[in-house]
Structure 1
Amino acid sequence: MGFRLSKIYTRTGDKGETGLGDGRRVPKDHPRIEAIGEVDTLNSQVGVLLAGLAAESDVYPGLNEVIEVLAPCQHRLFDLGGELAMPVYQALNLAEIERLETAIDLWNEELGPLENFILPGGSALIAQAHVCRSLARTAERRCQQLNAVEPLAGVGLAYINRLSDLLFVVARLIAKRQGVAEILWQPAAKPGGLVDA
């Protein structure tokens, strides 16, 4: 590896701008920087989820399979951040999307059909998986907002979409592996005691 950060602060961003890999300087609230920031936030929260899974894997060995699938996602999110920072750079490929789809299909078969909407909760790990899922959706929206003004090449949008799907399935799988009942949504009662189902 030839990349080293010898200095953490540069003072070049003190006036609200930052540099991109192609040499451009843009405001720190530019859609590209917003997308990079949301991908970074998601990556950090996936790190929290992975740390929690590792801490519980001795008690629930079935969580190791989730770690094996999720751990590479942190690296791919970093790749996606690189693609966003350097618009001509392409790191992600269809094989990564197919890897996520394979895991989704395998785990969905184990879980069976979803009979109702579920709420984020039941255990700290389940809730954290849902935090990651919702942040993946936010990152996807920010990437799409960027795509509307500066079209994105490659498969980044598809990857982040599939990752959010995976994280939903991961939340359900953690519940099953921990033996925790999913929290089913209970719709509000309508006036007169009627309930929509």
Structure 2
Amino acid sequence: MPHTALGIYKPLLKTSDNELGLDPEDYAILLTDLTHNPAGKREEMAEVMFERFNVHARLMAHQPVLSMYPFGRTTDPVVDCGHCLTQAVPVHEGYVMPHAIQRMNDVCLQLTRYFEKHLQTLMEHKDHIVEDMKRKCCYISIDFDAELKLNAEAHLIHEKLTACHVVSLEKERFEVLESLFSLEGPC
């Protein structure tokens, strides 16, 4: 049921009714649509909205078109980059030009790999960096439980690694050395 239109919209509209005090029957609803969504899926979504939730009006719009509105644009190319699919979508006067859409799979994965390559230089020196951070930031707590409680009130420090890299440390600063006093020993 979660991957059907009813499975997707039921919890959402139930929340709007219960927590927001809004009755879906009193409002028009805007649904975003994928550029490659089959017509049958659009019909299914419309049927669920009208018959199950009794909405009096609905508008279905393509995501790339909606992404242009905050910028006051109606004609532009839009790059829609998702987890598994990236597409270049030409939009003209508020309409998607489906014949000209270019799709590429796994672009985000490729970008992640590219980013990993750039981070490798930093990671080659990670032992040195971690050792330096341990010396600068870690300490033995006199009262571990009190320190944990105090840390819960958001004592956060930021350690600058390089001009572009900052690591945030909280309870790690004293938990690391506390492991020396545990029965299991460090690590």
Above 0.5 in TM-score? no
TM-score (norm 2): 0.24
Larger of the two Rg values belongs to structure: 2
Higher helix share: 1
- Greater fraction of residues in strand: 2
**Could you say which structure has the greater relative contact order, defined with CA pairs below 8 angstroms and 6 or more residues apart?**
1
